[in-house]
Amino acid sequence: LRMTAYEIILKKRDGKELSYEEIQFMVNGLISGTIPEYQFSAFLMAIYFRGMNFKETAALTQVMINSGNTINLSQIPGPKVDKHSTGGVGDKVSLVLAPLVASLEVCVPMISGRALGHTGGTLDKLESIPGFRTILDEEEFIKILKNIGIAIIGQSSKLVPADKKIYALRDVTATVDSIPLIAASIMSKKLAEGIDGLVLDIKVGKGAFMKTLKDAKKLGQTMCAIGKLAKKKVCALLTNMYQPLGNTVGNALEVIEAIQTLKGQGPKDLLEITLNLGAEMLKISRNLSYNASRKLLINTLLSGKALEKFRMFVKLQGGDDRVIENYNILPQPKYKLPVVSPKTGYIAEIDAFKIGLLSVELGCGRKTISDTIDHSAGFIFQKKIGEKVTAGEEIALVCGNDLDKVLYVREQVINAYKISNKKVSPPKLLLGKIT
């Protein structure tokens, strides 16, 4: 019997279980072009509403891995461990964590993604550095890993091409926040990299794709189970994405904040999440205790070794490494307009979801597949949850090159804030762990 995309979409739309062959037919059809994007988008929406069971999710992951090559890193001695986030607002952790852990003789072969829905993407951030190349062939990827123990690349026509295509479709069709689609997207990339171990950062809260701890746990458990099937050491931290992470959102702005953090001058929340994920990576790769890892990570950061690693990484991937001393070589926003507090009190909320949506509006992400990004655009937050503000005080800057957009977003952004008369404590960062 011949399969058709129509019948498979119908089957999933009606909540039935798909076979490996049916999932393979859809994914391979998208890649070869025999199934058009509009049909695949409808398929994604059916999955969004009907879900997939574990068997289907594992099958989707495998089919996506098989759409391209898998990298063999057995020629590189020592542990190979990566980290991946389920997506956040202001989440520039990878830019700090990967060079930090790679400074401790752990190889970090990272396949990342672009901005997705209201969240930012590591590849878009890195591409704000002039010359930086996120597409390397396998040979160059391995060569850089051998040399410095870190490389960060994107999906390509050779490496998880299925995720490259599906990711871009999900970005603009409101089909991101689905447990099977996130799990297969992340795990297909990670299982194609040649790693031994993986630490997942499952974001929870308004600015995350998983709004509740219950859903976040389910996503974490699904991904850990897929990793276990592939005989990898996997663990997951559940971390808070209630307000943006750090003090910036936006591609070039986040690169600056990551470099500041590598210089030992980063915001506390970003550092804390980085250290905790780093400790998990060292536990997997070096069997170190939490306290020993934490000390080692802090000392490495303060020694400047992680910053030096970042410099080498930028240079070897074609980027202008003068960026470390001179932030002016990054795209600069023409406009930087202040947002002021309407009243005196304490910042009680900066809704990361609203900020994320407004960041797309500013040009940090895409509304359609063919959109180009304004790498200079974004937000600088001068006050975060718990801080005292007075009426008329500047609390944030809205940056970008398109004045209409900057003006619109400046007007809207105050809706993401709540200012309370009572003292508010900053939200707890670590919410749980799955091993």
Site for ligand URA, rule CB under 6 A: 86-87, 113, 116, 176, 181-182, 185-186
Q: Output 121 or 246, the one with its CB closest to ligand URA.
A: 121
Cβ closest to ligand URA, residue 61 vs residue 300: 61
Could you give the CA distance from residue 252 to residue 270 in angstroms, rounded to a whole number? Answer: 16
Q: How far is the CB of 18 from ligand URA (least distance, A)?
A: 19
C-alpha 6/C-alpha 26 separation (Å) is: 10
The active-site residue, picked from 189, 203, 217, 233, is 189
Among 80, 84, 125, 217, the active-site one is: 84
Residue nearest to ligand URA (CB): 185
In the set 163, 177, 321, 351, the catalytic residue is 163
Q: How far is the CB of 352 from ligand URA (least distance, A)?
A: 15
The sign of the dihedral angle between the CA atoms of 299, 132, 281, 88 is positive
Residue 379, token pair as written in the block: 């937000």
Q: Which one is catalytic: 41, 185, 285, 359? A: 185
For 179, the token pair is 């447990």
197 strand-pairing partners: 81, 233
Nearest to 185 by CA among 274, 119, 256, 283: 119
Q: Indicate if 163 belongs to the active site.
A: yes
* Shortest Å distance, C-beta 100 to ligand URA: 20
Asked if 149 and 108 touch (Cβ cutoff 8 Å), the reply is yes
185 is catalytic: yes
Nearest approach, Cβ of 114 to ligand URA (angstroms)?
Answer: 9
Active-site residue, selected from the candidate residues 92, 170, 217, 410: 170
Give the residue with the Cβ less far from ligand URA, 87 or 345. 87
Q: What's the sign of the alpha-carbon dihedral 119, 121, 124, 126?
A: positive
Chain-centre distance of CA 251, in angstroms? 12
If the CB atoms of residues 182 and 204 are measured against ligand URA, the closer one turns out to be: 182
Tell me the closest approach of the beta carbon of residue 84 to ligand URA, in angstroms: 6
CA dist 352 → 42, 119, 120, 321, 355 (Å)? 28, 9, 12, 31, 5
In contact, 297 and 278? CB cutoff 8 Å: yes
Smallest distance, ligand URA to C-beta of residue 186, A: 5
294 part of the active site: no
Q: Is 303 a catalytic residue?
A: no
Q: Which is nearer to ligand URA, 181 or 352 (CB)?
A: 181
CB-based contact 117:359 (threshold 8 Å)? no
Known catalytic membership, residue 189: yes
Cα separation, 408 vs 410, whole angstroms: 5
Name the residue nearer to ligand URA (CB basis): 113 or 205: 113
Q: Which residues are catalytic?
A: 84, 163, 170, 185, 189
